[in-house]
Structure 1
Amino acid sequence: MSQDIEVRAREPEDAADVAELLNQPKAVWGTLQTPFTSVDERRKRMAALPAGHTNFVGVIEGKVVGTLGMNRLEGRRAHVGTIGMAVHDAYAGRGVGTALMAAAIDQADKWLNLKRIELSVWVDNTRAIALYERFGFEREGVLRSYAWRDGEYIDALWMGRLRP
């Protein structure tokens, strides 16, 4: 079932939908977030983001069902952006991640003049890895015991994309 996906800037009033999205079992599993984060805490985190941070949301029928943050680094790495994203469990596989990634790549290439975008993804998140590879990201290395997830240490794959 194909639905129209609107991609737009994240707004403060999206906090409740973003909190719900990031509290989903599969969505939180794929991120560095922790489960059971309140709307108030999510609102505070959203307000505290540094300058240079670009945030997108994917919306279906008025509901935020995906989020992507891109942070431009500073100094001698000002040509680099880092990405983190998540999609609501109930909307996975509907093109939300693809739409968000396309918007981020467009922003990075055409408006921010980023030469490099990098990200980390759990080594067992094959769906996300496939998405990133479709957008030109390459595997650059494995970060062993990168983070604690669901009761065990998990390795992450470091990926990067250079603007063609």
Structure 2
Amino acid sequence: LDMPGFGAVASNGLIVRDGGRVLVVDTAWTDDQTAQILNWIKQEINLPVALAVVTHAHQDKMGGMDALHAAGIATYANALSNQLAPQEGMVAAQHSLTFAANGWVEPATAPNFGPLKVFYPGPGHTSDNITVGIDGTDIAFGGCLIKDSKAKSLGNL
């Protein structure tokens, strides 16, 4: 997305195939872009998207929530992200994740997450950012929490 004063800003998400279903981490910047991703999943993977989890309440991670909801996809976010979403002009997820004192998601708030391991490290890029790992792999998705070694700040704290 072209951001005034910044130029083109990239954003990454994650698509996880889990048996006969797909799990999505983060939306695209917009509903249209998110719908394109869902279309790609349908054409290339041809499995239903069971759920989506977003890593924080900014447009590059939650900007496509309406597209997910229109497609009937269950959406999850940190409870703090859902609280912050309206202030950020975002649509909140349908479900709120809560976290134990050690940072790991409370399992009762993350049903059917399969291999997704969700962790709240505390404030980093934002006060609500979470990370998502894939059990049984060496994959850890940090979203905007992961910074270039040349970055001068954590971001939006």
Calculate the TM-score normalised by the size of structure 2. Answer: 0.37
With a CA cutoff of 8 Å and minimum separation of 6, indicate the structure with the bigger relative contact order.
Answer: 1
Calculate the TM-score normalised by the size of structure 1. Answer: 0.35
Higher-helix-fraction structure: 1
Higher-strand-fraction structure: 1
